């Protein structure tokens, strides 16, 4: 029994600081590709766009630990939720971390890092770091979940009003990559997989409970909360309370809303209800650009599991360590061929064969 995600809801995309754009005299449509985006980052670094008198405290691009891999989609690569493996249009499974396009991505981000356009602690920065920077209006752009736009805007401007003011942080139309790719990143439709043990005395009652969890009543309860407290309803229109929208002291999570720890499903529009109408409209417009993982959960044969258990974790660690090393310059990109040779010795081809068999 799975937890089911709605993959077009709550994509991960590039979001920009509208106040910074205004200060630079720029518009969203001025930033179409990676070159345009680089120009924006340089201007943010050079000018006092947050107006605090310090031209050196802005972070042109902020990325949290483990999220820079999302940028692979701009090169047509899935480096994130799939572990770096993806199915091409011809049905062949490949590893993005061994692709020449990935090398091009590393060159681009090494340049951003060396020029101070990417936050230097991108490999270790956590939520606390991010919150502190937004609270001081020091972030020019970020690639993360679109459902965070409201929270980011509220951090920058505590007086920001939900449906009255324009969001300070807004999603961009996806940048066009070097090979024409223009994506936002979705997620695997099947989340956690749940089951029962053979010692269960009363499976009928348990599965009746599962049935309830997949129903509309539970979907509304676990995503929208309690009627009269968290929302009022007029036909199909929901109006959410200030308590729900402001999410002070992490109100929604503490009450178990937006919870994927049971067999159930993400109620359609669930993440978006905490966003203002502008963000909901942009999210809907991005649905045709969503790139979902193509190598997804599947059960493996015993001998296939042995291969995954023997090699996949070490490969994942090697991918992550070298991404950081190549971008920060502690390992030269002149060692790319040696890097690929090491991947061969770590049985990358054997792991690909397992995923290929599962896909086939």
Rg from Cα positions in the chain: 22
Residue 249 lies in a domain: yes
Least confident of 125-129, 277-281, 317-321: 277-281
Q: Are residues 241 and 317 in the same domain?
A: no
Q: Are residues 33 and 75 in the same domain?
A: yes
Least confident of 164-168, 178-182, 241-245: 241-245
Which residue range is the domain that position 227 belongs to? Answer: 195-262
Q: How far apart are CA 49 and CA 47, in angstroms?
A: 6
pLDDT band at 352 (very low <50, low <70, confident <90, very high): very high
Q: How far apart are CA 222 and CA 324, in angstroms?
A: 38
Q: Are residues 240 and 331 in the same domain?
A: no
Q: How far apart are CA 341 and CA 319, in angstroms?
A: 13
Q: Based on the structure, what is the number of domains in the chain?
A: 3
- The three-state secondary structure class of 304 is helix
| Helix ranges restricted to H, 16-64 | 18-23, 34-46
- The three-state secondary structure class of 14 is strand
pLDDT at 87: 97
Residue 178 lies in a domain: yes
109 Cβ contact list (under 8 Å, min separation 6): 68, 71, 118, 327
Query: Shortest CA distance to 181 belongs to which of 99, 114, 119?
Result: 99
Q: Are residues 148 and 53 in the same domain?
A: yes
Q: Are residues 154 and 62 in the same domain?
A: yes
Residue 190 lies in a domain: no
Kindly tell me if the per-residue pLDDT of 273 is higher than 90: no
Residue 341 lies in a domain: yes
DSSP strand E in 194-261: where?
Answer: 231-234, 237-240
Distances (CA, A) of 120 to 64, 106, 113, 123, 243: 11, 15, 7, 8, 36
Q: What is the CATH number of the domain that holds 88?
A: 3.40.190.10
Phi-psi region of 269 (alpha: psi -120 to 50; beta: other; left: phi over 0): left
Residue 39 lies in a domain: yes
Q: Are residues 56 and 173 in the same domain?
A: yes
Q: Are residues 29 and 68 in the same domain?
A: yes
Q: What is the pLDDT of residues 21-45, one digit of tens each?
A: 999 999 999 999 999 999 999 999 9
Q: Are residues 94 and 238 in the same domain?
A: no
Q: Quote the tokens at residue 263.
A: 């067999």
> What mean pLDDT do residues 101-112 have?
98
Residue 296 lies in a domain: no
Least confident of 80-89, 102-111, 233-242: 233-242
276 Cβ contact list (under 8 Å, min separation 6): 150, 162, 163, 167
Q: Which of 25-34, 145-154, 273-282 has the highest mean pLDDT?
A: 25-34
pTM over 0.85: yes
Residue 61 lies in a domain: yes
Q: What is the pLDDT of residues 301-333, one digit of tens each?
A: 999 999 999 999 999 999 999 999 999 999 999
Q: Are residues 82 and 105 in the same domain?
A: yes
pLDDT at 334: 97
Q: Decide if 278 contacts 153 (C-beta within 8 A).
A: no
Q: Are residues 86 and 175 in the same domain?
A: yes
Last-in-domain residue among 262, 279, 311:
262
230 Cβ contact list (under 8 Å, min separation 6): 224, 240, 241, 243, 244, 257
Angle at 108 between CA 102 and CA 114, to 5 degrees: 130
Q: Decide if 198 contacts 204 (C-beta within 8 A).
A: no
Q: Are residues 162 and 245 in the same domain?
A: no
DSSP structure class, residue 215: S
Kindly tell me if the per-residue pLDDT of 271 is higher than 80: no
Residue 293 lies in a domain: no
- Going by their DSSP bridges, the two strands 290-291 and 184-185 should be labelled as parallel
How many whole angstroms from its chain centre is CA 167? 19
Q: Are residues 144 and 215 in the same domain?
A: no
Least confident of 51-65, 119-133, 186-200: 186-200
């Amino acid at each position: 029994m799975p937890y089911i995600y709605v993959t077009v809801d709550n994509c991960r995309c590039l979001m920009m600081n509208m106040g910074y754009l205004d200060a630079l005299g720029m518009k969203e449509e001025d930033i179409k590709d990676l070159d345009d985006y680089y120009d924006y980052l340089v201007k943010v670094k050079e000018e006092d766009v947050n107006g605090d008198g310090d031209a050196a405290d802005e972070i042109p691009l902020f990325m949290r630990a483990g999220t820079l891999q999302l940028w692979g989609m701009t090169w047509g690569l899935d480096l994130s939720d799939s572990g770096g493996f993806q199915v091409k249009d011809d049905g062949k499974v490949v590893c993005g971390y061994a692709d020449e396009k990935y090398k091009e991505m590393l060159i681009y981000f090494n340049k951003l890092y060396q020029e101070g356009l990417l936050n230097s602690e991108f490999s270790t920065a956590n939520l606390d770091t991010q919150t502190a920077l937004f609270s001081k209006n020091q972030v020019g752009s970020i690639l993360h979940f679109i459902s965070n736009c409201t929270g980011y805007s509220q951090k920058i401007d505590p007086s920001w009003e939900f449906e009255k003011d324009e969001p300070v942080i807004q999603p961009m139309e996806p940048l066009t990559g070097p090979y024409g790719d223009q994506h936002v990143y979705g997620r695997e439709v099947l989340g956690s997989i749940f089951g029962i043990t053979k010692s269960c005395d009363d499976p009928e009652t348990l599965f009746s409970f599962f049935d309830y969890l997949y129903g509309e009543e539970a979907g509304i309860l676990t995503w929208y909360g309690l009627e009269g407290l968290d929302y009022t309803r007029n036909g199909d229109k929901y109006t959410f309370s200030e308590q729900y929208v402001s999410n002070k002291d992490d109100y929604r999570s503490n009450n178990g809303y937006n919870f994927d720890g049971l067999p159930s499903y993400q109620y359609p529009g669930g993440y978006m209800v905490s966003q203002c109408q502008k963000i909901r409209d942009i999210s809907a417009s991005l649905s045709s650009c969503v790139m979902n993982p193509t190598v997804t959960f599947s059960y493996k044969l015993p001998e296939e599991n042995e291969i995954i258990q023997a090699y996949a974790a070490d490969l994942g660690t090697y991918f992550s360590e070298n991404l950081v090393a190549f971008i920060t310059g502690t390992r030269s990109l002149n060692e790319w061929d040696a890097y690929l040779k090491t991947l061969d010795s770590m049985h990358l081809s054997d792991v690909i064969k397992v995923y290929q068999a599962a896909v086939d």
